[in-house]
Copies of this chain bind each other. A is one copy, B any other.
């Protein structure tokens, strides 16, 4: 894949929308005809809640700093929920019918790595605090920032795409995991919530001022979204807790907005919290109904997601042993019946049925829809 050598070239280059150009077009637009070498296309759009993405020279324009985290992010749920949630936060500022999503192009990989590292003489741009030499959990300076991700939101002007705004997510630690010596045991420094919030906001302001100096960013709105990582042993990812916008070329965030999100795992184990008790009960009823369908169905678990105190979605995983095609078909129909009967209304529901051979079937209802879609994965 041919990449533009410099950011300047990227910005100045002719962004020809030679083929598609119909922004906001639905998925059945013919948006993928072949393009010239400098051609820009978009992916098409499958729903109003999704952004179209940018395709350059027939290839998807991947992020400059893709997959950069401070250390290996040991909890994959964090990674997924951070990336997904960032687009949701962005929708507060950048409407999906006006903006095209582009993977971050302005923070390069080397830059992201420096920002995520500790500050030091060699690395003055490190956002995490200096190493004070202490090894004790309560005396050392913890790493507050674990990951960052840039997302660009483009607008179309004639046949060109130009940067219309930017969202940068900062994933903050509530626990900083560390080793006292290489390959040694893992220790934890717990970070008080208030400290995590204040550090996140301070870092957000630093990031905004640095972006304003970055060539090509100019005065576009910059959204900073602050995310609290779930602990490494969590079976669900973390949540966003605040976002702020820098408008009109401002070098800081003038106002922060609280984001009220919470994730839970169902059924609860021990004294873990379950979110709203009636939602948890609804899931438990569903679970006990479907768990007895086969003689030996193994596991039914869920992730539930709350916004502003209200359930907004539930992802249910069902693990089975191998069953025949007719059994999976009957089971899937039964799931739809049970989901309609027991699961909460008006929220997004995703149910996957998996065996050791992979995903067997799938039932889902998007937010705002009334009926469930179901599909049994087939083979000829």
Contact = CB atoms under 8 A, between A and B. Distances in A.
Interface of A: 1, 27-33, 43-46, 50, 52-53, 55, 58-60, 62-63, 66-67, 76-77, 79-81, 83-84, 86-87, 101, 103, 151, 236-237, 263, 289, 292-295, 303-305, 313, 315, 324-327, 329-334, 336-338, 340-341, 350, 352, 354, 357-359, 362, 364, 371-375, 377-380
A53 B333 contact: yes
Given A27-B337, A52-B333, 19 more contacts: A27-B336, A27-B340, A27-B372, A28-B340, A29-B337, A29-B340, A30-B337, A32-B289, A44-B334, A44-B336, A46-B332, A53-B330, A60-B294, A62-B327, A83-B326, A84-B379, A101-B326, A354-B358, A358-B359
Given A55-B293, A237-B380, A31 B337 contact: yes
Contacts of A33: 341
Given A43-B334, A330-B60, A380-B315, A80 B325 contact: yes
10 contacts: A28-B371, A30-B341, A31-B341, A32-B334, A43-B330, A44-B333, A46-B372, A60-B331, A77-B379, A79-B325
Copies of this chain, tallied across the complex: 2
- Leading 9 A-B pairs by shortest Cβ distance: A53-B330, A44-B337, A27-B336, A83-B325, A43-B334, A359-B359, A305-B380, A43-B333, A80-B379
Contacts of A333: 27, 43-46, 50, 52-53
A67 B324 contact: yes
Contacts of A373: 373, 375
Contact of A32 (B237, B295, B337): B337
Contacts of A101: 326, 330
Contacts of A52: 330, 333
Nearest to A354: B358
A58 B340 CA distance: 17
Contacts of A357: 76
Contacts of A292: 58-59
A293 B43 CA distance: 10
Nearest to A261: B380
A27 B80 contact: no
A33 B289 CA distance: 9
Given A293-B60, A330-B53, A315 B378 contact: yes
Nearest to A63: B324
B336 A46 contact: yes
A334 to B, nearest CB: 4
Contact of A50 (B53, B83, B329, B362): B329
